[in-house]
Amino acid sequence: MEINIIPLRWGASGYYWYFAPSLSNSAGVALAIKKMNPDLKVEKVEHVDSRLLVADIKIKCNPYKLIVVYVPNVLYQRNDFLANVKAYVDPGKTILMGDFNAALDNLDWISGLVNSSMPKFHHLLEFAMCEEP
């Protein structure tokens, strides 16, 4: 679903605010873009769900995809979520940010189990990155 700018008065009126609100007591992501940045233009913002916000932006007329995530901390949900996020990634043109609820080391433990979602997480990061020319 496409969303519009929601004006707020949090003492941060110099920003455009975009939200993917929570449908329960957890999740929800937000994006704040400073209004006085002439090199950055927001083309479109899509509220995919309460954990995923996707924005098409231009920086100095170059197109990029900005993806804001709040990754579930439950392993089976995390893997499905990351597979869904990958569909929005444009390799070499994506800025991926948010709360990944993950560490980058397989030695980290979740509920007493080795964190098996790390290979998919690393693959997503590699997919989103590009090599320097």
Model confidence at 127: pLDDT above 70: no
**CA nearest to 42, candidates 21, 20, 64:** 64
Residue 3 has pLDDT above 50, yes or no: no
Give the amino acid at 121. Answer: F
Which residue, 116, 120, 99, is CA-closest to 107?
116
Q: How many helices (H) and strands (E) are present in the chain, helices listed first?
A: 2, 8
Q: What is the mean pLDDT of residues 126-133?
A: 51
Ordered domains of the chain (ranges, CATH): 15-128 (3.60.10.10)
**pLDDT score for 116:** 58
Q: Cβ distance 41 to 58 under 8 Å?
A: yes
Taking the whole predicted model, whether its pTM rises above 0.75 is answered as no
